[in-house]
Structure 1
Amino acid sequence: MVGDARAVLRRLQQVESAVRAAVARHRESDPQPDDPFRGLYLSDETVDAALAAGREPFSPWRTEGPSAVTRPGADADAGQPSGDRLAALAGAARLTPLDEALLLVALAPDVDSRFEQFYGYLNDDVTRRRPSVGLALRLCGLPEAAASARLRLTPGAPLIDLALLRVDSPDRPVLSRGLWVPDRVGGWLLGADAPEPLLAGLAGPAQPAGPPPPGAQPLARALDRAEARLAYLRERPGGSAVAVATAALDGAGRAALVVDLPRLAADPQPAELATVLVREALLTGAGLVVGPVQGGEPWAVWSRLIGGAVPVLAYGTQPWDPAWTAVPPLQVEVAPLTVDDRAAVWRDALPDRLAAGLDPAAATAQFVLGAPAIRRAAQVAAQLAAAEGTPIGEAHLRAGARTQNAAGLERLARRIVPEVGWDDLVLPPATLSLLRELAGRARHRDQVLRQWRMRPGGGRGHGVTALFAGDSGTGKTMSAEVVAGSLGLDLYTVNLATVVDKYVGETEKNLERIFGEAAGVNGVLLFDEADAIFGKRSEVRDAHDRYANIESAYLLQRMETFDGLAVLATNLRANLDEAFTRRLDVVVDFPVPDEAARRALWDRCLGPRVPRAADVDLDFLAAAFELAGGHIRSAAVTAGYLAAEAGRPVGMAELIGAVGREYRKLGRLTLESEFGRWLPLAVG
């Protein structure tokens, strides 16, 4: 960096020589050089001298560096000393030799305070201690009226468009406007590398981690050949556009400056801040990684970002709209990592901390994660294992993967952390087999759908959708929780009150928000009472039927493109549209439990910790009362409260009383044929 500062200082000596010559010439034409108040007023003699002498250019520079302003067409880089940051900036920003000279003239007071006095003297105004446009042109050996030279200090010229040079006092005549160099530019030219403070919290550097992800190398070649100054990386779930962009820029010999585009667009002056971003990337030799693109960014932001000075790699999840920019981007699809790629990232992130025999990729196969998310998940897993003092196990890996879920879905659905397992289910073998098949589909969908391409074309997603059909209380929600828990995922139950809307089109918008947020979450999405929104289409008799059918048609299409794991639960399977059924991967029927299942449910719901009286007769409860699992659970909990209040173990008195209460909730009669000798306890 010392060499950089010396190179700039060496070139500023030429500015000083030009200023010395200008001061000497000015003194010769000054009628009152010894007046202590000169520059604060205009005497008659000063006006007469100005009229007689005119405003001729000062002597042009004739030595290395700025001397090139007098030699049009000369190579700006020729003869530049090694390590000269100004020369590097001139090449990157396509500055002309005149641009370099103007920049040096404006920079001089920030390097040597004497220039403030010199410029005050040459401006004939001791209060104006920066070079004016007119003075700068004359110091460069050019007349003040040179149109082509004045254009280098107006919008459209690189010095101004890249904020390398500022022109103040726009209300003044052009020639008396002051020139100054922003602190970040001046400091960088002198060797300082502190980042621009205006960008704190908005942009930051990023380094590639691990091997380049798929798609990075072709993009790097396009950047290296300058074939793409603007690219748009459309990110699919499980892909990482930032990782691809960072690796591509690294392959092209550039650093990456990652920009939070929504925060930039929300700034009160987004266009000015976008200019500062481009300037920072230019100074640091970086490319801009901008996103996520949401489609509502001001046109002025894009126009400043894609001026061509630095490559811009934008990313987002939605298709690119040609109306956003006048320059068409190179469009790149960022696909999810393959199973092998994910395994390689896991191995790279966790080289020697895993429990013996554990395959991290297999343990987290159901999670759709990009490379950066995998590395963050690995860090969390390592922290959890270190806190427990154990090697990293499957539970740690899955817990770390869950921390990478976006939080937006929790505002639209209720998150349930699974606390039950396969042993807690009391279901027929055929039903259990289908539930295990559903979990297996979620675990191996990448292999079957992506590697083996078992569902090609048609814009179909890579999700898994199941229907749980059965009466209330037969275990549909609990089964969804078990499936989620077996996969290490959270369960998100959609509240229909937040979805269904009486206004036309609003229900679809609410569902789209849910599906959109679910795309960034590794979880199981449960639509309870699904027939309310996935009902049959009907014959159109009025406008209500037509809009209801439009809603169902939208849902049919959206379910087919969904990439996650969704479960539809309904008490009325016959009410579902047949087109939905065709698109379902697994249909699970939940029957009302038989006597043997009811006995197992009573025993399971009471559990091993509840004290039981000697008179508890589970065989009688299972044979006498045809209740579904949910009702049995409710009755067991009620019996527990009754026993706790009475201060004794749970006995038949509490259990029969709880069943009687459950019957009354269901609107069923308490008959002696069912309750037998326990009837008084049920009606008491």
Structure 2
Amino acid sequence: MTAQGLDYLLARLGLVEDRIRALVARRRADDPSMDDPFRGLYVNDELVDRLLSGQAHTAVVDETALAALERSADEYIAEGNVIRLRRLAAVAGLTALDTELLVIALLPDLDSRFERLYGYLNDDVTRRRPSVGLALELAGASSMSSVARGRLTASGPLVDRGLLIVEDPERPFLTRAIRVPDRVAAHLLGDDLPDHRLVPMLEELTAYKTDASADLGRSLAAGVRLVHLREHEAGTGQSIAAAALAAAGRGVVAVDLRLMARDSDPLGLAVIAGREALLQHAGLVVGPVEALAESSLESLHRLSRWEVPVLFIGTTTWDPRWSPETPLTVDAPVLGAHDRIELWREHLQESELDPEILASHLALGPGQVRNVFKTAAASALLAGTAITADDLRRGVRAQNAAGLERLARRIEPEVGWDDLVLAPAVRRALQGLAARARHRDTVLTDWRMRRGGGRGRGVTALFAGDSGTGKTMSAEVIATELGLDLYTVNLATVVDKYVGETEKNLERIFSEAGGVNAVLFFDEADAIFGKRSDVRDAHDRYANIESAYLLQRLESFDGLAILATNLRANIDDAFTRRLDAIIDFPAPTPDLRLRLWQQCLAPPLPLGDDLDLPFCAEAFELAGGNIRSASVSAAYLAAESGQPVRMADVIAAVGQEYRKLGRLVLEREFGQYYALLDGPTLG
């Protein structure tokens, strides 16, 4: 706070002190009980004289001097400077009487002498705040004036805007105490720290300048007060709101309405949030609006009534019940691939990392990108190196909300293309799927190749093949290629015997996945994406309703979803039409089985000299998953014997795998190694 601003405040306080002196003198002259030994309880006349004659902390000025100070303040403000009391009065719509009442209530917080003086004037030493009646008297207003009294009611600007608190509601109106909240007093003295109750829900926003933010900034500067920014990607609306407020010459107070909704007093927090925007000459950016609308519609109404610009962030259409006034609705633009690359390039600066490979497919808003680089910088600092692509991928994963983990199992991918043993045609199809996911923003957003119908920007694929043919591992490889996590949906948490519950569970999964950069993997997908049947009873009708819902929800999904099934024929044809790719996983040929055996039985696993892997590949028609399972069993047998993995261990493990599959162990298949089946086995 400038010295000029403080001098102005002290001068206003000095005028009130003069009025207190005059009122004390008048009380003494008119008081018939001056000799009462209990006058003012423990505050006697001698003490009052001493308090009034002591060194004052405020300048003593008369009305003429104050008028001169006001002219000086006008000149100071005209030069582009700020006097906080004057600015607060202007933005809060305070009259001269309001400002006078605010200063009167502020005195005890700035000079402790006035606590005891107010106690004397209240004729009660325990009441050290000015009463309504005393404040009106000191301000030169009649306590019989309905206009003057109305300035201190709940509908008056002082109380309504949280600048003044009227206490003791059980008392008669004129004897109720008034006080200034600590945050307001601190602000007038130059403190910019926000209210402690608001701090946990304040958000730091990254301004993102676009044509939309420039247009919105002009609207705000022209007087538009209430805005609904509907965003299609988390964080984009907030960043555009911050840029628009900056363009309009305003600061930003951004509040997370999810945390406000969980508080026991959301209405009180709505007042604190709006007051903070008033004090900081800022606009309110609050969202998601749907979170507060569900729990406290009254709080939402209160937020919409502030005189500062209020920008609500949400994902749904504005509901007229949310506010008495209809806001200006603006759709936040969806970032295209070029936008994302440029956003990342700003942070990468001189780095040699390629933003096109790292970021073009990631649905991250400007604020999330900032957090990605903060996390990556911390990771690089721990390793003592410059920021790497792996650091950035860890930063991306750190932005994923934890809500999806309650509904699906999170897997951090650890395998790549080199670990995948598949036919060349299948590998090419998988690489095409990864390319589709990487360039979807370019094709669907920049080139606008998907218009209308409420279709999402997601990519969906079906992996069809027998168990163990590599469907899950392929999904993990694609997640690795894109730098994403893999979430496998547990069908036990989805399918419910009660009508409508399965759809609700799936909606929660899709909603959570919509805000997460991840690959969503539905194993055994035919259980919930199966064919619709003829309606013979109520069960068939509800099963078909469930399938119809899934058809619509899958089409509007914005993420990357992979469905896996052992029986492609079980998937409804209507689903396959909506899929971007269908990839069949055939059983491996002998040459692929040999590569699988060689990959599974490789160092650091100790290997014996008698291993005959070509025989295993040719003789045993096993899928990749079964080969891996047999290899693990052979490793356990070797560990138990304390020797390297021998052919006997492999044959015994294959025999166990055959029995698990329900297949006969025939001598013609095991050939010369059939006798080794009598060796040790795992229980």
Query: After the TM superposition, which of the residue ranges 621-630 and 359-368 deviates more from structure 2?
Result: 359-368
Task: Give SS of 2:255's match.
Answer: strand
Which residue type is aligned with residue 442 of structure 1? A
Partner of 1:634: 629
What letter corresponds to residue 15 of structure 1 in structure 2? V
- How far the C-alpha of 1:540 sits from its partner, in A, is 1.0
Deviations 1:31-55 (A, max 9, x none): 23343322459xxxxxxxxxxxxxx
The CA distance in 2 between the partners of 1:641 and 1:473, in whole Å, is 21
Q: CA deviation at 1:282?
A: 0.9
Percentage of identical aligned residues: 58
For the residues of structure 2 that align with 1:513 and 1:329, how far apart are their CA atoms? 29
- Unpaired segments of 5 or more residues in structure 1? 42-60, 69-73
CA distance in 2, matches of 1:599, 1:304: 70
Match of residue 339, structure 2, among 338, 341, 346: 341
Cα offsets for 1:361-407 (capped at 9, x unmatched): 33332222111222222233334444445444433332322222222
**What is the CA distance between 1:305 and its match in structure 2?**
1.7
Match of 2:222 in 1: 225
Please give the alpha-carbon distance, in whole angstroms, between the structure 2 residues aligned to 1:163 and 1:647.
77
Shift of 1:80: 9.0
Instruction: In structure 1, give the amino acid aligned to 2:249.
Output: G
Q: How does 1:131-150 map to 2 (within 5 A)?
A: 131-150=130-149
Alignment match, 1:618: 613
Q: 1:508 aligns with which of 492, 500, 503?
A: 503
C-alpha change, 1:254 and 1:297, in structure 2 (3 Å) is farther
The whole-number CA distance in structure 2 between the counterparts of 1:135 and 1:394 is 68
Match of 1:24 in 2: 25
* 67 and 298 in structure 1: CA distance in 2 versus 1, 3 angstrom threshold: farther
Partner of 1:302: 300
The answer to whether the 8 A contact 1:102-1:140 is kept is yes
1:51 match: none
Q: Distance in 2 between matches of 1:643 and 1:272?
A: 68
The residue identity in structure 2 corresponding to 1:470 is G
Is the 1:364–1:398 Cα contact (8 Å) retained in structure 2?
A: no
1:310-346 alpha-carbon deviations (Å, 9 max, x no partner): 2222223333322222222222222332222222222
Partners of 1:513 and 1:640 lie apart in 2 by: 42
Alignment map for 1:70-469 (pairs within 5 Å): 83-203=82-202, 206=204, 208=206, 212-213=209-210, 215-227=212-224, 229-237=225-233, 239-293=235-289, 294=291, 295-352=293-350, 354-355=351-352, 358-469=353-464
2:338–2:360 contact (8 Å) kept in structure 1? no
Which region of structure 1 is more displaced relative to structure 2, 156-165 or 328-337? 328-337
Q: Give the C-alpha shift of residue 677 in structure 1.
A: 3.1
Please identify, of 388-397 and 343-352, the stretch whose mean Cα deviation from structure 2 is larger: 388-397
- Does the CA contact (< 8 Å) of 2:11 and 2:66 recur in 1? no
What SS is found at the alignment partner of 2:486? strand
SS at match of 2:294: coil
What is the CA-CA distance between 1:586 and the residue it aligns to?
Answer: 0.7
- More displaced 10-residue stretch of structure 1: 436-445 or 404-413: 404-413
1 CA distance for matches of 2:170 and 2:383? 68
Residue of structure 2 in register with 1:562 after alignment: 557
Equivalent residues of 1:66, 1:98 under 8 A apart: no
Distance in 1 separating the partners of 2:234 and 2:197: 33
Tell me, yes or no, if the aligned pair for 1:336 and 1:370 is still in contact at 8 Å: no
8 Å CA contact 2:337, 2:361 repeated in 1: no
Q: Any idea what SS the aligned residue of 1:198 has?
A: coil
Q: Secondary structure at 2:5's aligned position in 1?
A: helix
Aligned-pair distance for 1:583? 0.5
The residue type paired with residue 563 of structure 1 is D
Amino acid in the other structure paired with 1:222: S
With over 3 angstroms needed to count, the CA separation of the structure-2 counterparts of 1:296 and 1:599, relative to structure 1, is same
1: CA distance, partners of 2:67 / 2:195: 28
Greater Cα offset, 373-382 or 587-596: 373-382
Provide the alpha-carbon RMSD of the alignment: 2.5
**One-letter identity of the residue aligned with 2:232:** R
Aligned length: 653
Aligned mates of 2:66, 2:320 — CA distance in 1: 43
Q: 1:79 to 1:442 in 2, by over 3 A?
A: closer
Q: Give CA-to-partner distance per residue, 1:42-81, whole Å, 9 cap, x none.
A: xxxxxxxxxxxxxxxxxxx96576999xxxxx99x97997
- 1:633-671 CA-partner distances (Å, limit 9, x unpaired): 111221222222222232222222111111111111112
Q: What is the letter of the counterpart of residue 617 of structure 1? A: D
Indicate conservation of the 8 Å contact 1:660/1:683, yes or no: no
| Distance change >3 Å, CA 393–CA 143, structure 1 → 2 | closer
User: What TM-score does the superposition give when structure 2 sets the normalisation length?
Assistant: 0.90
- Asked if the contact 1:360/1:394 (under 8 Å) is kept, the reply is no
Q: Alignment partner of 2:242: what SS?
A: helix
Q: Quick one: structure 1 residues 207 and 468, their matched pair in 2 at CA, closer, same or farther if it must change by over 3 Å?
A: closer
**Residues 526-560 of structure 1, C-alpha deviation per residue, up to 9 Å, x if partnerless?**
10000000001111111101110111011101110
Bigger shift: 188-197 or 264-273? 188-197
Q: Is 1:243–1:371's contact at 8 Å kept on the other side of the alignment?
A: yes
Corresponding residue of 1:54: none
Alpha-carbon distance in 1 for matches of 2:219, 2:65 = 36
Greater shift in the superposed pair: 364-373 or 575-584: 364-373
Structure 1 pair 418–186 and aligned structure 2 pair: CA distance change class (3 A): closer
Secondary structure of 1:201 counterpart: helix
Question: What SS does the corresponding residue of 2:576 show, helix, strand or coil?
Answer: helix
Return closer, same or farther for 1:149/1:624 CA change in 2, 3 Å cut-off.
same
Deviations 1:485-535 (A, max 9, x none): 122222111111111111111111111111111112211111000000000
C-alpha separation in 2, matches of 1:180 and 1:422: 69
Code of the residue aligned with 1:324 in structure 2: it is: W
Query: What is the TM-score with the length of structure 1 in the denominator?
Result: 0.90
State how far apart, in whole Å, the 2-side matches of 1:527 and 1:494 are. Answer: 5
- Are residues 619 and 112 of structure 1, via their aligned partners in 2, closer, same or farther at CA, if it must alter by over 3 Å? closer
Structure 1 residues 610 and 184: alpha-carbon distance in aligned structure 2, compared to 1, 3 A threshold: closer
| Partner SS state of residue 296, structure 1 | helix
Q: Deviations over 1:63-104 (max 9, x none)?
A: 576999xxxxx99x9799774322211110001111112112
Closer, same or farther in 2 for the Cα pair 1:364/1:140, shift >3 Å? closer
* Range with greater deviation from structure 2 (633-642 or 398-407): 398-407
- Residues 1:672 and 2:667 are matched in the alignment: yes
Sort the Cα spacing of 1:599 and 1:109 in 2 relative to 1 into closer, same or farther, 3 A: closer
Change (3 A) 1:263 1:400: closer
1:188-238 deviation line (CA, Å, top 9, x unaligned)? 22333343223231326x4645x52452222212221121x2222222236
Structure-1 residue corresponding to 2:9: 8
Contact 2:205 2:238 in 1 (8 A): no
Aligned 8 A contact 1:530 1:570 in 2: yes
Give the letter for the 1:582 counterpart. Answer: R
